[in-house]
Amino acid sequence: MAAADESYPADLRYHPEHDWVRADGDEHVFGITWYAQDALGEVVYYDPPQVGATITKDAPYGELESVKAVSDIFAPASGEVTAVNPAVNDRPEIVNEDPYGAGWLVRVRLSDPSELDDLMDEPAYRAYLAGL
């Protein structure tokens, strides 16, 4: 595994539980941040939600298990799951290798896009990490 270098892309919004959101057409893509995958270590298992499931902002929607720990994945916004990333089930370590790209976790149709206003932008998230 080539672990990714630390980065926090500027086009994402960040949740304090270390989840990111990217707008993609009418839908949004969720994943976990570099900080989260680094803290978790080598990811070995992804327990995703069902397609069609309703997920709620700030509540867990799935689990990632690493060789060190199990971690809930928190929804940065509410909505309906339209897809889960099958590649993460096949090769969970892509979450470590490419947390913002191939390692995305779910696609969601948001029920209230204004919830995104609560999230941090890149500078705010970096400042938040610096305070941890």
Is residue 44 part of the contact set for another protein (CB under 8 A)?
yes
Picking from 77, 72, 81, the residue whose alpha carbon sits closest to that of residue 58 is 77
67 binds another protein (CB under 8 A): yes
23: Cβ–Cβ under 8 A, 6 or more apart, which residues? none
**Binds another protein (CB under 8 A): choice among 47, 112, 118, 121:** 47
DSSP 49: P
Q: CB of 99: closest distance to another protein in angstroms?
A: 15
Selected range binding another protein among 13-21, 66-74, 75-83, 109-117, rule: CB under 8 A: 66-74
* 1 binding another protein? (CB under 8 A): yes
Best CA proximity match to 33, nearest among 13, 47, 49? 13
Kindly state whether residue 38 participates in binding another protein, applying the rule CB under 8 A.
no
Sheet with 54-55: strands ordered across: 13-15, 19-24, 27-32, 106-110, 79-84, 54-55
- Does 127 bind another protein (CB under 8 A)? Our answer is no
Q: Which of the stretches 24-32, 39-47, 102-110, 113-121 binds another protein when contact is defined by CB under 8 A? A: 39-47
Token pair for 99:
């947390």
Q: How far is the CB of 42 from another protein (least distance, A)?
A: 5
| Nearest one of 92, 90, 113 to 31, comparing CA atoms | 92
Binding site for another protein (CB under 8 A): 1, 41-42, 44-45, 47, 63, 65, 67-68, 70, 89, 93
